[in-house]
Amino acid sequence: MTRPTSAIIDTSALRANFALAQRLAPKAKSMPMVKANAYGHGMVNVAQTLADMAPAFGVACIEEALELRQANIKQPILLLEGPHSADEVEIAEQHGFWLMLENYNQLQAVLSSQLTTAITVWLKLDTGMHRLGFQPEDLKSIYKQVSDSSNVADDIVLATHFACADNLDSNFTNQQLQRFESAIDSLEAKPNLISLTNSAAILGWPSIQDNWQRPGYMLYGASPFAKPHKNADQLKPVMHFQSAVISIRSIACGESVGYTANWTAERPSVIATIAVGYGDGYPRHAPNGTPVLIGGIKCPLVGNVSMDMISVDITDLPWPIDIGEKVTLWGPDLGVNEVAKHCGTIGYELLTRMPSRVPRVYQD
Ligand SMILES: Cc1ncc(COP(=O)(O)O)c(C=O)c1O
C-alpha cells in the first residue's frame, strides 16, 4: 500500500517537446534548461532522458551542475548565474562547466584564475530586463579582455534574456533585440555565437534566430502564452500530477468544510477528500472553485488546502464514485496554467515548487 499521490513524468512527451524546439530553429542548438530540479520534473532523470539529443544543459548554479556530473551526464553544463565565487571558476574548469559572466567580479575571477585549460564563457548583456548582465556600452572593452585572455576559449557566446517575449503584442522584445544588435555593432569583429531565446521566443518569435536556444518551460509541455498559439499548442504536457479520493461524506446545507471553515455548503453536498495538499506542492492559496479532475470532469475545490489533503465538491458528478477514484490535479487533461491562473500565479511556480515527497514516476 502506498499513498496514491505521484507525478507521472511522460518522457516521450519531454523528448517530443525538445524536438519541437529544435524543429522551430533547425540551425540552432537547443540547450535544455534543467535548473530547479528541471522545473520540478527531476533534474537527473530529465537530463538522462534528453542526453542523446541535447548538446549541453543549462542550470542556475554549480551545485546543480555537480549533481548532473555525479549522475554521469557528460555534456557541457552552463551555469546561468555564473560563478558565485572565484573558486567556482576552477571547479568549472575541472568539470567542463561553461560560465555565464554577467558582472565585473565574475569577469575578474575568470581573468585572474590559474587555469590550465581555457573555459567557455558566455557574456550576458542587460538589454532591458535589468536583472543580470553587463551594460551594452561596456561590451567592447569586456569582449576584448575575454578574447585576449588565455583562460577563455574561443567560442565566446553573447547572450541576453527577454523580459516580455510571452507578450506577442509588446514591443519590448524588439527593443531588447535592437540594444543587443547595437552592442554587437560596437565590436570590431562580429562574435560567432549568440544566444537569445527562451521558450516564448522560440515559439512565438520565429524571426529571432540565434545559435543557442535556451528552452525551459516549453520542454515540460506548458505554453508560456496566455492565449492559444499554433506552435505552443503542439506541446505535450509532461507531468501528470495525480492522487485519489481517500474519503467521501455527505454534508447538510449550512455545514462548512476545512480549516477556518471558509466554504459553506449552500445545498446538501457530497464532499470528496483527496490525498494531496500544500505539503505536496498543491498551492495553499488555491481558492474555492479551483478545478480538480475526477472521472474526467472538473469538480470545484472547496475549503482551505491542508498540508496533506484537499476537499472537492462532487455533488454534481453524474455518477457515484468510491474511495480510490483517481484524481488529476494537473496534467494532459487539466493544464497547469489553468490551475495556476485560479491561484494567481504561473504554471512555472506550481511545477517548480513540487517537493520531493511526491514520487516522480517516469514512463515512456
Ligand atoms: C537565462 C535564462 N534562459 C532561459 C530560461 C528559460 O526560460 P523559459 O523557461 O521561459 O523557457 C531561463 C529561465 O528562467 C533563464 O533564466
Query: The domain spanning residue 315 has which CATH number?
Result: 2.40.37.10
Answer whether residue 232 is part of any domain. Answer: no
pTM for this model (two decimals): 0.97
Cβ-count burial of 185 within 10 angstroms (0-12 exposed, 13-18 middle, 19+ buried)? exposed
Number of domains present in the structure of the chain? 2
User: Cα(218) to centroid of ligand 1, in Å?
Assistant: 10
Range(s) of the domain holding residue 184: 11-223
Is residue 41 lining ligand 1, measured as CB closer than 6 Å?
no
- Is the distance from the beta carbon of residue 214 to the nearest atom of ligand 1 less than 6 Å? yes
Q: Is 157 in the pocket of ligand 1 (CB under 6 A)?
A: no
Tens of pLDDT, residue by residue, the chain (364 residues)? 699 999 999 999 999 999 999 999 999 999 999 999 999 999 999 999 999 999 999 999 999 999 999 999 999 999 999 999 999 999 999 999 999 999 999 999 999 999 999 999 999 999 999 999 999 999 999 999 999 999 999 999 999 999 999 999 999 999 999 999 999 999 988 888 999 999 999 999 999 999 999 999 999 999 999 999 999 999 999 999 999 999 999 999 999 999 999 999 999 999 999 999 999 999 999 999 999 999 999 999 999 999 999 999 999 999 999 999 999 999 999 999 999 999 999 999 999 999 999 999 999 9
- Does residue 230 lie in a domain region? no
The reply to whether 2 falls in a domain is no
- What is the reported pLDDT for 190? 81
Q: Report the separation in Å between the CA atom of 323 and the middle of ligand 1, taken as the mean of its atom positions.
A: 41
Asked whether residue 264 falls in the same domain as residue 326, the answer is: yes
Ligand 1 nearest-atom number relative to CA 100: 1
**Ligand 1 pocket, 199 CB below 6 A?**
yes
Is 280 contained in some domain? yes
For residue 197 and ligand 1, the question of a CB distance below 6 A is answered with: no
- The residue nearest atom 8 of ligand 1, judged by CA position, is 216
In-domain check, residue 5: no
185: enclosing H helix or E strand = helix 172-185
Asked if residues 161 and 123 have their Cβ atoms less than 8 Å apart, the reply is: no
pLDDT at position 1 is 63
User: 18 C-alpha to center of ligand 1: Å?
Assistant: 14
Nearest atom (ligand 1) to Cα of 348: 9
Residues 43 and 147 in one domain: yes
Assess whether 81 and 135 both reside in one domain.
yes
The Cα 173–Cα 200 span in angstroms is 11
| Catalytic positions, written as ranges | 35, 259
Q: How far is the CA of 215 from the centre of ligand 1 (A)?
A: 7
